[in-house]
Amino acid sequence: MFTTLYTSKDVVSTSLTGLALMSLAAAVLCFVGLSWSNERWRVPTALVGAACLVTAIYYAGATGYWLASGAASAGVRFSAWYTVHPLQIAAVYFFARTQGPVPVGVFWRLVGASILMVFGRWLGDAGFFNPTLGVLISIGFWLYILGEMYFGAMPEAVRKSSRPVRFGYFWIRLLFTLGWAVYPILHFVDVVIGVGQAPSIIVLYSVFDVVNLIIPSLIVLAVAGQDRY
């Protein structure tokens, strides 16, 4: 992606390249943070670092494809989501578990729901059934994840923890509530309405990946750091 020149007017190339570099930088920060964070925070920190690294690889590839062909593929984005969303949800589970016991069944249900959330939208996008039904299935699993984050064992484990932990969990949960709502909305516009992978859709996906991935990852890193500094 660094061998092709593009101007500032090429907003898509700028956003894709910027997200590749931002995700890579966040991944490096998280992995470096493993060396100084408390041992109990290493699992959630490593998980968000891995999610950022996968995203960086995706955006690097998407940038190259866009510069070469002027097009984007939803299929590649889905391939990244199948890895990134479960890693993020697993990180939230282990984030809460640093503060108290959380049943392992919650972990498996959340990871399964995060995969099925993506799978529902993919089935609609691939044309296996009505795209609107795919969006509704995806929203159902997203709401289940939020239910666990608001009313399950995780908030109970965090409730009596220190202020930085409670504050960090609050913001991660809020970002997953508001930020993740954009994914089915953009998918509906992309697939159901039929706009396709238009430049505006690609840029919006990129912007909200900052909100939904990089910021929560840095929150985990910051909370992990408060245990030592």
* Residue 183: pLDDT band with limits 50, 70, 90: confident
* Residue 195: pLDDT band with limits 50, 70, 90: low
What whole-number distance in Å separates Cα of residue 136 and Cα of residue 191?
13
Q: Using the 8-state DSSP alphabet, how is residue 210 labeled?
A: I
How do residues 61-83 score in pLDDT, each as one tens digit?
888 877 777 666 677 788 889 99
Which of 30, 33, 22 has its CA nearest to residue 55? Answer: 22
HSE at residue 25, side-chain half, CA atoms within 13 A, is 10
Whether the Cβ atoms of residue 217 and residue 51 lie closer than 8 Å to each other = yes
Question: How confident is the model at residue 16, as a pLDDT?
Answer: 87
Rounded to two decimals, the pTM is 0.90
Average pLDDT over residues 123-134: 82
Q: Domain limits of the chain?
A: 11-226
Q: Does the pLDDT at position 151 exceed 90?
A: yes
* Residue 22: pLDDT band with limits 50, 70, 90: very high
How do residues 26-54 score in pLDDT, each as one tens digit?
999 999 998 888 888 999 999 999 999 99
Q: Does the pLDDT at position 3 exceed 60?
A: no
Question: How confident is the model at residue 229, as a pLDDT?
Answer: 56
Question: How confident is the model at residue 12, as a pLDDT?
Answer: 83
Question: How confident is the model at residue 225, as a pLDDT?
Answer: 85
Question: In CATH, which superfamily holds the domain spanning 11-226?
Answer: Rhodopsin 7-helix transmembrane proteins (1.20.1070.10)
What whole-number distance in Å separates Cα of residue 37 and Cα of residue 28?
14
Whether the CA torsion 126, 111, 49, 222 is positive or negative: it is positive
How do residues 78-100 score in pLDDT, each as one tens digit?
888 999 999 999 999 999 999 98
Question: How confident is the model at residue 196, as a pLDDT?
Answer: 60
